[in-house]
Amino acid sequence: MTDRNTSDLLIQVAMRAEALPIIHLLSLKPIGRMDPNLPSELWQGIVHGHCISLVTNGCDPEFDCDRIGTESAAIVAFLALRITRPKLIFNAGTCGGFASQGATIGDIYMPTRFLFHDQRVALPKFDAFAKGEKTTADFPKIRSATNAKHGTCSTGSSLDTTVDEMAFFAAESVTCKDMEAAAIIRVARDFQTPFIALKAVTDLVDHRQTVQEAFLTNLKFATGRLADAVDHAARVFSAV
Ligand code: SAH
């Protein structure tokens, strides 16, 4: 077991199904819960010479499914950053992509701009806070090691998309739609920890096939691609 109090890299993943291919590929060992009051689970290992911690949001005991979404993402990010004190945090996960922006299933995105698409507060200052727009530095070595595309990630609390949100995505040139990234980067900023999102496309938001159908069909393929990308990123991590 590694020292859970210092990690080089923290990888936060919402769903167990997204995390398992990464855990297997990196041979991470289960450590258990970070806190008895939270279902979030921690795995650790030494990978390519670096101490890596991976946390999932955990399975909700009442609803018996992964705790996807912004609330759990923020709580787990806070706790995991506090416990593992990493040099860098990755949010590895899946996302909806946009055919109109050139996405295909299994593409890996490493966005450098993040916002929320379903938080609207028409009051001075609170409007910008609600939209939560943040940009990150690019990490060219990680981008080329993962062959990741550039883009903007927009986070919300629903898997489906409303007509208004579609207009928002077009106006903001959104390339990835997810349910966690903008919440995690907010917490990472509080800890002054650099943040990278690696997102594999499971479904195309602007395609005929329903997002739910595409997500379930493509989850295995996309999470395999995601695990490879995380492994390649961990390899060049020291060069960041
Ligand atoms: N139906 C799935 C649940 C997927 S929920 C199941 O039963 O297992 C969506 C999760 O994948 C979230 O964690 C989110 O970050 C990501 N995601 C993938 N495609 C998405 C999309 N089109 N919109 C929003 N989130 C998406």
Specify the CATH number for the domain of residue 90: 3.40.50.1580
Longest Cα separation, the chain: 49
| pLDDT for residue 214 | 82
Confidence (pTM): 0.95
Residues annotated as catalytic (active site), given as ranges: 18, 203
User: In which domain, by residue range, is 155 found?
Assistant: 3-239
- pLDDT the model gives residue 237: 80
Q: How many domains does the chain have?
A: 1
Residue 59 contacts residue 16 (beta carbons within 8 Å): yes
Q: What is the mean pLDDT of each run of 10 residues along the chain (240 residues)?
A: 70 97 97 97 94 97 98 98 97 97 96 98 98 96 96 97 96 98 98 97 89 85 95 82
Show the ligand 1 pocket: residues with CB < 6 angstroms: 14-15, 68, 93-96, 159, 177-180, 202-203, 205, 211-212, 215
Cα 201 to averaged position of ligand 1 atoms, centre (Å): 10
Residue whose CB lies within 8 A of the most ligand 1 atoms, among 72, 91, 177, 179, for a mutation test:
179
DSSP H helices, the chain, are 16-25, 70-84, 126-131, 140-146, 163-171, 181-190, 211-235
